[in-house]
Amino acid sequence: MHIHDALADPEYTAMQAQKIAAFRTLLGVPLIREGAAIAVMVLARTTVRPFTQRQIELATTFADQAVIAIENVRLFDEVKARTEELSESLQQQTATADVLKVISRSTFDLQTVLETLAESAARLSDADHTWLFRRDSEGFRWAASYGRSHSRDEHARIRDYLKGYLIKPGRGSLTGRIAMEGKPRTSPTCSPIPTTLGPKGRKSEIIAPHSGSQFCAREQPSA
């Protein structure tokens, strides 16, 4: 889902987040598993500058990788839980433990993987920010992020705000729209709003479907 300008979108109502992060253009990519969006990756730009088709394709590829990472961790956790249930005999415990050892060799720190994906998506898509939101029983919540346009302290403030931000399906936000529709979308532009986090406004945003949601933002003005 692609919002060219959040401030020019009459249905976009997540203005507190826009003020804090100063984004304008948004691209959202859903992380899809079994036909449902389990997360959303959002790329944002602080100026009105729509993402190209190639950049959208790259974002979608990173979303697919995130789904694989999340699914691998889920499967490992399921196997581990099942192993604990099947501890009826020493022989069975030994056999299942051996299997777990093999599986664990291919596991990784999911948080590190998601943060690496967020950074790579931002750099290759020329976005100022990337946010990844994962679905839980109530809606979508922050899972990982990366910012190029703000200082470390400013990025931390944006991240801390988003950590407490619950996104539910609806037309008021890019992630909410993807949660409803389950497909990539972009939005043109949104004018800058003064913020204590920085003087620049964010204009473009892209979102792609995957097990979570990632968001990237750009600061540079449109050509």
Q: What is the pLDDT of residue 133?
A: 94
In angstroms, the CA 16 to CA 13 distance is: 8
What are the pLDDT digits (tens) for 192-213?
Answer: 323 333 334 444 444 444 444 4
| Structure confidence at residue 114 (pLDDT) | 84
Predicted pLDDT at 93 = 57
CA pseudo-torsion sign 156, 158, 161, 167: negative
- Separation of alpha carbons 134 and 178, rounded Å: 12
> 62 to each of 28, 90, 115, 123, 142, how far by Cα in Å?
12, 43, 11, 12, 17
φ/ψ of 167, rounded to 5, equals -110, 125
Name the residue ranges covered by the structural domains of the chain.
Answer: 2-67+111-217
Cβ-based neighbours of 175, under 8 Å, separated by 6 or more: 28, 40, 42, 133, 140, 167, 207, 213, 215
**pLDDT tens, N- to C-terminus, the chain (223 residues):** 899 999 999 999 999 999 999 999 999 999 988 888 889 999 999 999 999 998 898 888 888 888 888 888 777 777 777 666 665 555 555 655 665 565 555 456 778 878 888 888 888 888 999 999 999 999 999 999 998 866 778 888 888 999 988 999 999 999 999 888 755 445 444 433 233 333 344 444 444 444 444 444 444 443 3
